[in-house]
């Protein structure tokens, strides 16, 4: 039996006032307040910049034990090099996350591939070999050519999660390839029926390991409120 970690993609949104953040809460306290209600967040900052030790220290101090940061891999790995000849850069990026790892606050590292990148099975297998076994990793494929049994098998052999991303444009097959699950919930609308379906999926997956589920951040506060609702729906299960 695992743990369900739920949150959103980021936390620094003043538009979440007053429905999620208190009206008078300063932005410097957003993360600590967020972490008082949710137990994980997906970080997009690392897609564009390597995190500094000072930055990570602030994140660590603002969050309680057990909180997890899911980190998006740097764009130079996924979008510029497109996984090719990226061993050194990937190792350097993962090393920059050491403060989170040492405090047990590092969640999965998400490698989000660009939508124009078509399936290259040998490239994927070669890249998977450089990923350290002790770091949870997930892959989000945004071109449908990646959705094949051979790709799923390669991920499974490496214990790397297929990111179960859903949007209004594309939906990933509901296949579990690792000892944890990673859901990116990106549809524009999640009515009650859809949210119940998400909770049902999470309750099914958590029986086999940890589940990380992230709603899309919105101009309004529906994302964190939906994540909080999900945590309540799977609590004590």
Mean pLDDT by 10 residues, the chain (237 residues): 95 95 97 98 97 97 98 97 96 97 98 97 96 96 96 98 92 95 94 94 95 89 96 76
Calpha distance 131→89 (Å, rounded): 12
Residue 235 has what pLDDT?
Answer: 66
Considering the entire predicted model, what is its pTM? 0.95
Please name which of 76, 60, 147 lies closest in space to residue 112, comparing C-alpha atoms. Answer: 76
Per the structure, the complete domain to which residue 149 belongs is given by: 4-234
Q: Please, what is the Cα angle at 185 between 184 and 188, to 5 degrees?
A: 140
Residue 147 sits in a domain whose CATH number is: 3.20.20.410
Domain count, the chain: 1
Residue 237 has what pLDDT?
Answer: 44
HEC string of the chain equals: CCCEEEEEECCCCHHHCCCCCCCCCCHHHHHHHHHHHCCEEEECHHHCCCCCHHHHHHHHHHCCCCCEEEEECCHHHHHHCCCCCCHHHHHHHHHHCHHHHHCCCEEEEEEECCCCCCCCHHHHHHHHCCCCCCCCEEEECCCHHHCCHHHHHHHHHHCCEECEEECCCCECCCCCCCCEEEEEECCCCCCHHHHHHHHHHHHHHCCCCEEEEEECCCCCCHHHHHHHHHHHHHCCC
């Amino acid at each position: 039996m695992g743990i369900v970690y739920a949150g959103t993609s980021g936390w620094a949104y003043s538009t979440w006032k007053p429905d999620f953040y208190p009206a008078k809460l300063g932005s410097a306290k957003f993360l600590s307040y967020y972490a008082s209600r949710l137990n994980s967040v997906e970080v997009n900052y690392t897609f564009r910049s390597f995190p500094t030790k000072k930055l990570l220290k602030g994140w660590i101090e603002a969050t309680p034990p057990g909180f997890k940061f899911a980190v998006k891999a740097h764009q130079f790995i996924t979008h510029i090099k497109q996984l090719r000849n990226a061993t050194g850069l990937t190792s350097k990026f993962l090393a920059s996350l050491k403060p989170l790892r040492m405090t047990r606050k590092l969640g999965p590292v998400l490698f989000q591939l660009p939508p124009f990148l078509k399936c290259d099975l040998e490239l994927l297998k070669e890249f998977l070999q450089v990923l350290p076994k002790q770091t949870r990793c997930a892959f989000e494929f945004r071109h449908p050519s990646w959705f094949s049994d051979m790709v799923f098998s390669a991920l499974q052999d490496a214990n790397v999660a297929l990111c179960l991303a859903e949007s209004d444009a594309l939906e990933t097959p509901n296949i579990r390839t690792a000892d944890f699950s990673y859901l990116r919930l990106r549809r524009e609308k999640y009515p009650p029926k859809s949210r119940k379906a998400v909770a049902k999926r999470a309750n099914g997956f958590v029986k086999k390991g940890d589940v990380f589920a992230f709603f899309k951040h919105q101009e309004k506060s529906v994302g964190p409120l939906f994540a909080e609702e999900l945590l309540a729906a799977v609590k004590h299960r």
